[in-house]
Amino acid sequence: MKLKDAIRTRRSVGKVSEDMPDLHLVEKVLEAARWAPNHHMTQPWKFYVLLGKARNRLGEVLAEIQGEGMREEEKSLSAERLERARNKPLRVPVVIAVAVTPSMDPKVEEIEEICAVAAGVQNALLTAHALGLGAIWRTGKPTYHPRMKEFFHLGERDHLLGFLYVGYPSILPKERKRAPLKYKVEWWDQ
């Protein structure tokens, strides 16, 4: 697949089959991520590949976070919401948690470290698409919860940036319109 075609045709794929992708393909996705541009070559990315029962463990953490602050009687009334949270990682055969460990070097800006990992995620998404895999970058409040940091043994300065849900697509997402470039670009010559 040509790069321009991959960029224009890649879509977030929210529904994938239960079939486990060849782990060699998942390694190619991760390999593409680690080639992202990175100021000062700190390589701040960290990836956690969750398969099988590891996805259940992640689901338990999501349910804990969802239930946080609920009284016991609310939990029984909201059992369906807790179960939905618990089952989120089970919707796909492969979950890749993406984290950033910012450099301690005072010359390095933390935002640049986060941007480098985000660029790696884009490389991963494009590569997954080119390999015939479906993927979506999932984020949201539970991603940034302290309990999630604890689950992944992340340090105080580390951040979890989201989850790549990966599998073989079971739907083909529709193309979504983009605002014309003229509304998003200003050309300056002085």
42 annotated to a ligand binding site: no
Does 84 belong to an annotated binding site? Answer: no
Q: Which two tokens stand for residue 123?
A: 């490389």
Was 9 annotated as part of a binding site? Answer: no
Is 8 annotated to bind ligand? no
The phi and psi torsions of 18 (rounded to 5 degrees) equal -75, -10
35 is in an annotated binding site: no
11 is annotated as contributing to ligand binding: yes
What's the residue count for the chain?
Answer: 190
Q: How far apart are CA 74 and CA 68, in angstroms?
A: 11
Q: Are 129 and 6 in contact (CB under 8 A)?
A: yes
Q: Backbone dihedral region of 153: left (phi > 0), alpha (psi from -120 to 50 degrees) or beta?
A: left
Q: Is 140 left (phi over 0), alpha (psi -120 to 50) or beta?
A: left
DSSP three-state, residue 185: coil
Q: How many CA atoms lie within 13 A of 50 on its CB side?
A: 21
45 is in an annotated binding site: no
Query: Quick check: 30 and 43 in contact, CB under 8 A?
Result: no
Bind-site residues for FMN:
10-12, 39, 137-139
Bind-site residues:
10-12, 39, 137-139
